[in-house]
Amino acid sequence: MPKATITLDVVLKDRLADLANQTGQGVDDFVQAFLSRIADADIRFDRGVPLFPQRPGAPLLTAEDVDRIANGEKG
């Protein structure tokens, strides 16, 4: 696996340490496993937002559909 250096701010570092402790892992092991799962998944990022592939047969929502659902309107 290629090596890289990732710099974390204090808040994220503390949160990762908390999550690692909850799983009983060290921070380095937790982060390595987490990043490996992301790298192996079929996920791409667009401006920092994860985009997952559409499931076969899943409906495609338009921006209008999302607005309607967010506003509690029936369609």
Helices vs strands, H then E, count in the chain: 3, 2
Reported as a single tens digit per residue, the pLDDT across 12-53 is 889 999 999 999 999 989 988 888 887 777 778 888 888 888
At 32 the pLDDT is: 87
Reported as a single tens digit per residue, the pLDDT across 52-71 is 887 788 778 888 888 888 98
HEC secondary structure over 43-54: CEEECCEEECCC
